[in-house]
Structure 1
Amino acid sequence: MLSAIFLLLACQLAGEVLHRLTGLALPGSVIGMVLLIGWLALVRRERPTLSAVSAWLTAHLSIMFVPAAVGLMNEGPALERYGLGLAVATAVSTLVTILVTAAVFRWALHRFTPGEVGRRPVAAEPTS
């Protein structure tokens, strides 16, 4: 379990280092995720342990937002000035994300599912 946590943190750190050294336009966390995907493609034995750690982190995801919420409390003047715009932007982007996700899911369902999708089966008429 500790090795999986170390792997996550090492990929994150390596991504941040690469970002700062090379000046890539990608955030360090994204670079670290790409490094993690590459590692998992090469070393398949890591997957079960990493799955267990990821499941635990996902189950306790709300704890991860507490520091961000506490940090937000210190930004009173910025929230007073830009709060309405931030709220509108968050609501609109959430709605757009939901709509795009639904559209992509429907497209993928029709594209990759054999047979006709979306049609209800015709019920056999009773014979008398």
Structure 2
Amino acid sequence: MIDAIALLFVCLGLGECLHRVAGVPLPPSVIGLLALLVWLAAVRRERPMLQSVSGWLTAHLSLMFVPAAVGLIDEGPALARYGIGLVVATTISTLLTMLVTVSVFRFVVKRTGSGPAPVVTA
């Protein structure tokens, strides 16, 4: 299990280094994810521990938002000034993302002709 966690941290650190040193215009976590993808493609073997660790992290993903929520407490003046605009922008961008996702899904289903399986009732 320690090996899997170490692999995740090494990839994240590599992403951070590439971002800072080489100036790659991607977030360090995305670069680290790409590094992990390259490693997984290069070293082909089963990784049950990596699957177990990533499954645990995904299951407890809500805990990862606690530091961000606590950080908002320090931003009281900025939230008081820009809070309504942030809420409106977040709501509109979420709705637009949902509309685009549904539109692309419908387009692909129509184009490929593979819709959901019909529901058979008895």
Range of TM-score over shorter length: 0.7 to 0.9
Conserved 8 A contact 1:4-1:46: no
| Aligned-residue offset at 1:44 | 2.3
CA gap 1:103/1:47 in 2 versus in 1, 3 angstroms = farther
CA gap 1:89/1:6 in 2 versus in 1, 3 angstroms = same
| Aligned-residue offset at 1:53 | 1.2
> C-alpha distance in 1, partners of 2:56/2:29?
20
Amino acid aligned to 2:42: L
CA gap 1:46/1:85 in 2 versus in 1, 3 angstroms = farther
Work out the percentage of aligned pairs sharing the same amino acid.
62
| Aligned-residue offset at 1:103 | 2.2
CA gap 1:120/1:73 in 2 versus in 1, 3 angstroms = closer
1:70 aligned partner: 70
Residue 20 of structure 1 aligns to a residue whose secondary structure is: helix
Residue 45 of structure 1 aligns to a residue whose secondary structure is: coil
Matched, 1:32 2:32: yes
> C-alpha distance in 1, partners of 2:99/2:9?
33
2:43 aligned partner: 43
| Aligned-residue offset at 1:102 | 1.9
TM-score by length of 2: 0.85
| Aligned-residue offset at 1:117 | 3.8
- Larger CA deviation: 95-104 vs 73-82: 95-104
Residue 25 of structure 1 aligns to a residue whose secondary structure is: coil
Amino acid aligned to 1:7: L
| Aligned-residue offset at 1:34 | 0.7
> C-alpha distance in 2, partners of 1:26/1:120?
39
2:84 aligned partner: 84
Q: Deviations 1:17-60 (Å, cap 9, x if unpaired)?
A: 00000112111111111111101111122543222211111110
Ranges in structure 1 where 5+ consecutive residues have no aligned partner: 122-128
Alignment RMSD (CA, Å): 2.1
Higher relative contact order (CA 8 A, sep 6+): 2
1:106 aligned partner: 106
